[in-house]
Amino acid sequence: MDHYQHIAAFLVGFAVVALAARQVGDVFARFKLPKITGYLFTGLLTGPFILNIISEEAVESLRFVDEVSLAFIAFAAGSELYLPELRGRLKSIGWITIGLVILTLTLTSTVVFFLADFIPFMHGMSGSAHVAVAILAGSILVARSPASAIAIINELRAKGPFTQIALGVTVIMDVVVIIIFAVSSSVADALLTNINLSISFVILLMVNLSVAVVLGGILSKLLSIVLAAKLERIPKTTIILLCGFGVFVLSTFIREYSHDIFGSEILIEPLLVCLIASFMVNNFSKSRGEFREILEHTGPLIYIAFFTLTGDSLELDILIATWPIALALFGTRLVAVMLGSFSGGVIAGDPMKHNRLRWMAFVTQAGVALGLAKEVAVEFPELGTAFATMIISVVVLNEMVGPLCFKFAINQVGEARTRATPAFEGVRDAILFGHDGQTLALAQQLCAHGWKVKVASTNPNFNSAGIDQCDFTIHHISDLALETLRRLKAPQAEVIVAMLPDEDSYQICELAYQNFGTDTLVVRLNNPQNFTRFHELGALIVDPRTAIVGLLDHFVRSPSVAPMLLGAANNQDIIDIEVRDPELHGVQVRELRLPLDTLILSILRDGHTLITHGHTRLRLGDRVTIVGSLRSLDEVTLRFED
C-alpha cells in the first residue's frame, strides 16, 4: 500500500511539473523553437541534477508513464502510414528510403564504434558491447519526424512532387526504423549477454518478429472493437492507452517466462506490436477516422508528459561530457542523409535540383527517436540512461536545425504557397468580382461607408443601369489571370469579394492569397462542398442558404446586435479599423481617449482574435473591431489611420 501511495504522490508532483512544461513549451514556440525542447528543458531543470523536484526515485517509479507514452508514439507512427496516399511515387520513395537506411545506419554505427573510447559510459566495455551500442545508436538515428514534416508542409501550404516524396519517405522511415530497432535490439541483447550469433539465434529472431506480427494483428482487432463500441472519446482513449501499456507488460512477461522455461529470451518489441496494430487499423478498419481523431486529441498531453519525464531522467554530467560526441554524430548523420537521399533520388531518376536539396527534408527527428532512446534504457538497464542522454542530445540538435532546412528546401523548389505580404496604399478600397444585382447593391453600400470600390465583371454587357447614384467604377475583363488582377491593382486592395461561380471565385482567392496576401477575402458560396477549399485560404464565406437562418437566429437571441450586422441599426454600426498610426504602437487600450459611445470588441493580430481588456497594447497592423455611433466611428477611424 505504501508503494502505491508513493507512486500517487510522485504522480501528483509530476503533473504539476508537466503543467509548467506546457507553458514553457509555449514560450519556446514564440521564439520559433520546438515545443519539445521546452518540455525537455523543464524536465532537466526540475530533475535530480538541478532542482530535484522530481527525484531519481520518482523517475524510476513513473516508468509506466514512459511505457504508456511509447505505446502511443508507436500508434501515432503506424497511423501515418496510409497506403493509398503513397501510390504513384513508390519508386522514388523506395529508393530514397533504401539509400537513407543503409548509409545512415552504416556511417553512424561506425562512428559510434570508433569513438567508444571517448564516450564515458562505454569505458571498460568489451568489443562486442561496443558493437551492440553502435548498432542501437545507428538504428535510432535512422528515425525521422512525420509530425514535424506535416506541420511545416501545412504551414507553407506546400504541394508538389518534392513535398509528396519527402512526406512519403518520412512516414515510411518511422515504420522501417521500428522494425530495424526490433532486429537491432535482439542482436544487441545477444552481444551484451554473450550469446553466439548462430543459426539458432537467427531462428529465435524470426520467432520474435513472427510473434510480434501475430500480437499486432490481435491488438488491431481489439482496438477495432474498442473503436466500434458506443463509448465517449475519453473512455475509448483510456482503453487504447491501457492496451498499449498491456503490450509492455506482456512483453516483459514473455521475456522472463521464456528465459525461465527455455533458457533463451523471446524478445518481443512492444513498439513493433503497437505499430503493426495501428497500421492495420489505419488501413483495414472502418474506424480509421475516429482512431486518428483520438490520437490527434490525445497527442499533446502524451508528448508533454513523455518529453518532460525524459528531461527529468537526463544525466546532466553525461549530457555535458557527450556534447562533442553529439556534435560528431550530428555531423555524421547529416553527411549520411545527404549521400543517402542523393543516391536514392539519382537511381529513381528524380530531377537533380530535387536530389541536391532532398537531404534538407530528412534532418528533423523527434518523437520516435526519443522514444527508442528511452526504450533502450528500459530494455538494457546495463546501459542506464547515459545512452539515452547521448542520443537525446543529437535529436535536440536535429529537431532545431531540421525544420529550418525543410522550409528552405520547399521554398527553393518553388512548392511553397504561403500567403504573400499585402501592400497597402492608405485607401480603404475593395474589388468586387461579379455581374448581378447583389454585386451592384454591395458596391453602392460600401461607397456609402466611404470605401473606394471597383467592380470587375467578365460579362461585357454588365453595367450600372438602374443605379441612381454610382460612386464606383465597373471594369470589364476577359479572364481571371494573374496579370488581369494586377491591372486592376488587386495587390493594393484591402478587400476582395468574389461573387462568381465557385471555381472562378476559388481561382481569384488563390491568386490573391499566394501573390498579394490580401487582408480580407470574402466569397459568396454556391456549393457547400467547396466550403473547406475556401476555408483553407482563410476566406470569409457567406452561404446564402444558411445566411438568412443565421440572421434570424441573431434577431431572436440578440435583437440589439443583429440590426448592426445588417447595417439597419439607428445611427450605429460595427466596423474593423486597422492601426496605422505609429504613435499608437504600444499604447494600452485603457489609455485611448475614445468617444464614450464606442467600445472595442476585439483585436485581430497575426490571424488570432484577442478579446481585449484595459492592459492590451495596440500594435501596428492590428485590426480593431469597434461598435459605436456612425459619427464617433468616423472620429476613431481618423485617429487610428496614419
**Residue 429 banded pLDDT, cuts 50, 70, 90:** confident
Residue 517: left if φ>0, alpha if ψ -120 to 50, beta else—which one? left
Q: Check whether 558 has a pLDDT greater than 70.
A: no
| Average pLDDT over every residue of 229-250 | 90
User: What's the pLDDT score for residue 335?
Assistant: 93
CB 308 within 8 A of CB 35: no
Lowest mean per-residue pLDDT among 108-112, 226-230, 495-499, 597-601: 597-601
User: 572 pairs with which residues across the strands?
Assistant: 629
Q: Could you read off the pLDDT of 460-504 as tens digits, one per residue?
A: 888 776 666 567 888 888 889 889 998 888 888 889 999 999 999
533 assigned to some structural domain: yes
The answer to whether the CB of 596 falls within 8 A of the CB of 631 is no
Q: Quick check: 4 pLDDT over 90?
A: no
Amino acid at 617: R
Q: Within a 13 Å sphere around the CA of 588, how many CA atoms are in the beta-carbon half? A: 5
Residue 214 has pLDDT above 70, yes or no: yes
| Residue at 553 is within a domain | no
Contact between residue 577 and residue 623 where contact means Cβ atoms under 8 Å apart = yes
Question: Does 555 map to a domain?
Answer: no
* Candidate ranges 60-69, 189-198, 257-266; pick with highest mean pLDDT: 60-69
Q: Is residue 596 part of a domain?
A: yes
Q: Kindly state whether residues 499 and 377 are assigned to the same domain.
A: no
374-383, 578-587, 612-621: which has the minimum mean pLDDT?
374-383
Domain boundary pick from 542, 557, 592:
542
> Cα–chain-centroid distance for residue 497?
31
Domain-located, residue 48: yes
Mean pLDDT, residues 572-601 = 78
Domain that holds residue 484: 429-542
**In this structure, are 275 and 347 located in the same domain?**
yes
Q: What is the pLDDT of residue 290?
A: 84
Q: Which residue has the cell 487499423?
A: 281
Report the CATH number at residue 328.
Answer: 1.20.1530
Q: 84-88, 156-160, 214-218, 350-354: lowest mean pLDDT where?
A: 84-88
pLDDT > 70? residue 75? yes
Q: Residue 220 pLDDT more than 60? A: yes
Q: What is the pLDDT of residue 332?
A: 92
β-pairing, 572-578 with 623-629?
Answer: antiparallel
Residue 513 falls within a domain, yes or no? yes
How buried is 25 (Cβ within 10 angstroms: 0-12 exposed, 13-18 middle, 19+ buried)? buried
Does residue 642 surpass a pLDDT of 80? no
pLDDT at 188: 84
In a domain, 122, yes or no: yes
Q: What's the CATH number where 593 sits?
A: 3.30.70.1450
Let me know whether 531 and 384 are in one domain. Answer: no
Q: Which of 360, 562, 526, 372 is nearest to 436 (CA)?
A: 526
Closest CA to 366 of 518, 150, 560: 150
What is residue 433's predicted lDDT score, i.e. its pLDDT?
Answer: 93
- Between 171 and 567, the more confident residue is 171
Regarding whether 236 and 114 lie in a shared domain, the answer is yes
In a shared domain, residues 77 and 210: yes
With CA atoms as reference, report the closest residue to 303 among 162, 529, 151: 151
- Same-domain status, 402 and 433: no
If asked whether residues 286 and 200 sit together in one domain, one would say yes
CATH number at residue 477: 3.40.50.720
Per-residue model confidence as pLDDT tens digits over 166-208: 888 887 887 788 888 888 888 888 787 776 666 766 777 788 8
Q: Based on the domain organization, do 446 and 573 belong to the same domain?
A: no
Q: Which cell numbers in the block locate residue 244?
A: 498499449
Same domain, 202 and 278: yes
Domain co-membership, 189 together with 52: yes
Counting every residue written for the chain, the total comes to: 642
How many other CB atoms are found less than 10 A from the CB of residue 624?
23
Query: Confidence class of residue 223 from pLDDT cuts 50, 70 and 90?
Result: very high
Q: Could you give the number of structural domains in the chain?
A: 3
Give ∠ CA 226-231-232 in degrees, rounded to 5.
120
Same domain, 215 and 127: yes
For 465-469, 498-502, 586-590, 592-596, which range has the lowest pLDDT when averaged over its residues? 465-469
Q: Which of 398, 328, 406, 340 is nearest to 368 (CA)?
A: 398
Question: How far apart, in Å, are the Cα atoms of 558 and each of 223, 545, 555, 564, 570?
Answer: 46, 21, 5, 11, 16
Do 168 and 131 share a structural domain? yes
Q: What is the pLDDT of residue 576?
A: 81
Q: Is the pLDDT assigned to residue 596 strictly greater than 80?
A: no
